[in-house]
A and B are shown apart, each in its own frame.
Chain A
Amino acid sequence: MSISELTTAAPAVQGAGVKAYTVGMADDVPPGEGRAFVAGGTQIAVFRLRDGSLHATQAACPHAGGPLADGQTDVNVLVCPLHQYAFRWADGTSPGGAPPVRLYPVRERDGYLVVDV
């Protein structure tokens, strides 16, 4: 991706060390799919659900490092492609008992994707 570390907006929630990163264009992430980006050196997977909402998680699966952006999604969970552990959008926990996935706030702003890390 060409744009990766340009800070253009204030984080949605201010907090110690939280920074907003513009990671790409809004339409880089097609409906229902996920794509991986780098935000300030952190790997992030950004998903657009079929209901239009955006979500972001760490890019590597906490179970065994699977590429989460290649996973499948629904309104409740993200399913990792390697061993099919699910992770809830609500809090990152896994009903199947894998360690939780880290979630990041993400939003669309002027046609760009902005992630708070």
Chain B
Amino acid sequence: MNAVLGGRIEGLTALHLDDDDLDPRARLVVIGNGMAGARFVEEVLERGGGEQFRITVFGDEPHGNYNRIMLSPVLAGEEHEDDIVLNSHDWYADNGVTLRAGVMAERIDTAAKLVYAADGTVTAYDHLVLATGSYSFIPPMKGVRTDDGELRPGVYGFRTIDETRAMLDAVGRCRKAVVMGGGLLGLEAARALQGHGLHVELVHAMPYLMNMQLDPEAGAILKRSVEKLGITVHLDVFATDVFGIDSVEGVGLADGRRIDADLLVVAAGVRPSTDIAVRSGLEVERGIVVDDQLRTDDPDVYAIGECAQHRGEVYGLVAPAWEHARVLADVLTGTDPTAEYHGSRTATKLKVAGVDVAVMGINTPEREDDEFLVISEPRRGVHLSVVIRDERLVGATLLGDTRKVAFLTQAFDRGLALPEERIKLLVDLSDGAVEVGVAEMPATTQVCNCNGVTKGAICGAVADGCGSVGAVMDKTRAGKGCGSCKSLVKQIVEWAADGDVTEDVSASWYVPGIPMAKPELMAAIRAQDLRSVSAVFAALAPGGVDDARSKMGLTSLLKMLWGHDYVPEKDGEFINDRVHANIQRDGTFSVVPQIKGGVTTPAQLRKIADVAEKYEVPMVKITGGQRLDLLGVRKEDLPAMWDDLGMPSGYAYGKSMRTVKTCVGSDFCRFGLGDSTQLGIDLETRFQGIESPAKMKMAVVGCPRNCAEAYVKDVGVVAVGNGKWEVYVGGAAGASVRKGDLLATVDSPEAVLELTGRFLQYYRENANWLERTYDFVPRIGLDRLKEVLLEDAEGIVADLDAGMQRSIDAYTDPWGQDAKQPATPGQFRPSLPLIALPKVPVR
């Protein structure tokens, strides 16, 4: 819980020696290591400022710099905290910047030009930049704080990674949450907590949600969408009390109601952090007052980001903060000493609680002759409106459908001419306007709001030779903030490359290390008789150079192509495949024996229990795939354990056929229309261990009640009576959820086995590496699949059947094999010899 995000390895330190007298560079001190402060340092370094300045950064948070915007997905469990680090402690060290992480700056002596910090140090500066951001506003409520002034346990703000971690730590223990505040942060927090299984109620003091951005109707529609997620919304009421002795037990509302809750998130707005400026005698109103060069009333002290107030505005978004950073870097490094900041027109595009929202300008007509166009579809959760004044777009609100945001943003920014038929602003009257939109967009239109990247900059990157969307994103940083503009960036890159390089070249390659698409690669492998991964690299990779990230995909392909005749190379496999088990976070492994169709026996269960005890397995778990998982097994114990189990591998680690789930079917269930259990066992027996571009999971159910979830499997089989079976393909209920498409209705279990094999083989031969069937089936199209597999339109059905049979014949149980004779020396040697294992919790 206390790990430092973006921290350094123990023993290394980021402190630099300050040999003041010898260093001729001016001292630049930044207070606040958030999104503005750190970006400012980057901008200074990019302008060669490392030669001019000795830079010191104070950060109250102990971490490196991280992407605060991404705290919502971290709280939702969609993003790992390690992946939101922008600048690690190492980055500062590598760039010669002194980071005083975990140190709060307390006071500035502007006359002596000294910063006094909480750790007792005094730091001299020539130029000082305040980037202290904002803090969560905690409205006065009885009981919200304990006697010592701290927030009562169970009450959280939502601003920092530490608060996010604390909430994530609490969700497991809590059942009911109240979120105070129905703005962006409150909605995000509510959705995230709800995703962790908490019952969530949202209390908002205003009459409608997101009242800062939306109009009342849009707010009402958003409320419906949020309620559809299962979140209860209370509007127009203040929370006045927080109940609870030690930790939170409930929240009292102004109208006397009480809501029980063991977790309270306060997201009732933010306030600029201006304490240090106030204490130091700088001019502060709502924020720290700055001029067009971000200078405070002291000529050597500047303020940027959310703590700054410029021309009366205080911003709460990252884009203005980053604009501040650019302008100030221009000024201070002398790159453009006359650079000025004139304010930001905020056009915001967000995804709030799963709903797309884009807002710009005003949201309701303000003058007599303002034109106002509204399209409202409450049932679909869509509400679109525009405000037009004197033939100019002065405001737009898009909720639930943001397809027109590109054109509207440019019309808003540039004052473009508007279509006579105003409705075209909001709805595509199917005249293919999207392409035109990108082409017509002026070069100065900002595409990525987070990073302030214009269409011109994107086109410039393409002109400079960036050949792919990824390369353009790396170069310009477009799409690297909240990510909501990615599809627009892609459209522009494609347009700018003028059809020449419409696609990421390498995107069509099967693996990154070999410049060939899958069909071409398969043909070359066959033609040159390449049977091992190293032979493929030697013959087909540029310069014959091997590539670690390509090895796993090539191994899979070669196994499919050659069956028995594939020449195995252990280093071509991922560790899971090398030891036939799934690696865990502490380097131990999990063991999932095959339990065909989810049907086991008392003897098997006894065996598993004995083995679990003998090898001190920390957790035995029933998986989502209808079998048993032994987790936390030491690598060196694997062979002996398999031997004792005497059961074949369940392949829970491979890109291969995994499980066939079944229901109890006609043998036992009063609704059963077919023997789903037996058919499941037969499918699993036939296709066990077959490797594939990505996982293949199946299920068979005895009737359309679908108890084993066959509609959402790669292949799902449903008994529909009279001996008939429906075969669905391309279903999913993992990261994507998709109902499978009905490929055919057949009239015997044998026909199911045959058609399944045919489909799987076609998928194995034609899918991209890691492309699940839920992407593959829609890409090929159901009609095409039917033509190929049912009508044999390509005349390949016999080959498909033969190819699958070859793989089935080549199947050997890897556990039975390697338990007796390791494939390479030391196959099962521990890789972390000194750490006491296992480290996973023991249940």
Binding site for B on A (CB under 8 A): 27-38, 43, 45, 50, 59-60, 62-79, 81-84, 86, 97, 99-100
Contact = CB atoms under 8 A, between A and B. Distances in A.
Nearest to B7: A99
Contact of B585 (A27, A28, A32, A82): A82
A75 B571 CA distance: 13
B12 to A, nearest CB: 8
Given A30-B825, A34-B831, A50-B537, 13 more contacts: A33-B824, A43-B832, A43-B833, A59-B833, A65-B587, A66-B587, A67-B830, A72-B551, A72-B574, A75-B545, A84-B549, A97-B88, A99-B88
B163 interface: no
Output the residue of B82, B547, B548, B572 with the most chain A CB within 10 A: B548
B835 A60 contact: yes
A29 B119 CA distance: 50
B330 to A, nearest CB: 27
A28 B547 CA distance: 23
Given A30-B570, A63-B82, A64-B585, A99 B834 contact: no
A77 B513 CA distance: 13
B832 A60 contact: yes
Interface string B223-242: 00000000000000000000
A28 B826 contact: yes
Interface of B is mostly: loop
B548 A38 contact: no
B549 A79 contact: yes
A36 B825 contact: no
A32 B552 CA distance: 13
Contacts of A84: 549
A64 B825 contact: no
B82 A77 contact: no
A62 B10 CA distance: 10
B631 to A, nearest CB: 16
Contacts of A38: 833-834
A60 B835 CA distance: 10
A36 B583 contact: no
Contact of B547 (A34, A36, A74): A74
Contacts, number: 108
Interface of B: 8-9, 82, 85, 88, 90-91, 513, 534, 537, 545-549, 551-552, 569-572, 574-575, 578, 583, 585-587, 824-826, 829-835
A78 B548 contact: yes
B9 A70 contact: no
Contacts of A50: 534, 537, 546, 571
Nearest to A97: B88
Nearest to A37: B833
Contacts of A60: 832, 835
A72 B548 contact: yes
Contacts of A32: 534, 569-572
20 contacts: A27-B825, A28-B825, A36-B831, A36-B832, A36-B833, A43-B834, A50-B546, A50-B571, A67-B831, A71-B548, A72-B552, A72-B574, A74-B546, A76-B545, A79-B548, A81-B575, A83-B82, A99-B9, A99-B88, A99-B90
B368 to A, nearest CB: 56
A36 B829 contact: yes
Contacts of B548: 71-74, 77-79, 86
Given A59-B832, A75-B546, A70 B826 contact: no
Contacts of B571: 30-33, 50, 72-73
Contacts of B575: 70-72, 81
B546 A35 contact: no
Nearest to A49: B546
Contacts of B545: 74-76
A10 to B, nearest CB: 25
A35 B826 contact: yes
A85 B834 CA distance: 22
A112 B110 CA distance: 65
B803 to A, nearest CB: 28
Nearest to A38: B833
Contacts of B9: 62, 99
